[in-house]
Structure 1
């Protein structure tokens, strides 16, 4: 995959450890999918929020990563494992609440908007048709590509987070014919 000098420097850790980690994720994803290069994005939508799905390892990673990582683009967030405004009525385990709240704080520390929705296109103003975004939520990626006229890969939780941190995502083979 072709990288610019600045991207190569970030991959070598010259822009800090969180940026190095983000570029390592994007390069690994891009190489696995035969991407030719990275492209700029204007918006990222993240999954990997629910403590039930990422567990202690995910919570620890985010707590550490969020100490230095900051998003470069508008970044929205999938739902958590409960509605924080009415948590008392659920009878949830205290360890679950602790882990879920740590995840929430980590994302907010990075500058992620606490939208807690899998339909961010219903909450936030959409950019113009043809705009590159990075969406991890399946329905949001489908909506972006097929209804809103945006362009996105169907990202994983890690690759969408890396895209939010770097402001880029891999240009995948399926998208090559769509670019000017």
Structure 2
């Protein structure tokens, strides 16, 4: 066993991609997945998804070689209105029994200025996979919390059209327009803990 561990360590040192990468887990208790969408054509409704999970493989020497994947339980949606949340979990919208999670898997990371990135990836939602681009601030510098964990953080934003993912339910208004907007703004505030 010791020989295998030694060989693995030597391999990591000889392969640049492995030697410079660090692994990070999303801290679900200190991360927030938020969204907003226009309601009744007049105001934004905001909500969150809770308990995200995922990992970041951060290449410290060449950040464009980093990789990220995130999984979010759709049933965790919370807009602080129980009746509305029940409707959003139903087959009219997220159909959480059939599609219990949404996922994002990165395919490309590009620099976009100081401490900013463009992360392209595949978002799978409601059984449909589409390419989206996240505008990312961070990751921040490492920081050690009072319990000895090494942390970093990042904030990412994107916009999607919900109809692209088969979320097409709506209701017409007497005054014209529809009850729920098509464009959804998504913001991810992510806290990461370095995997030991």
The reply to whether TM is greater than 0.5 is no
* TM-score band, normalised by shorter chain: under 0.3
Greater RCO (CA < 8 Å, at least 6 residues apart): 1
Structure number with larger C-alpha Rg: 2
More strand by share: 2
More helix by share: 1
Normalising by structure 2, report the TM-score: 0.20
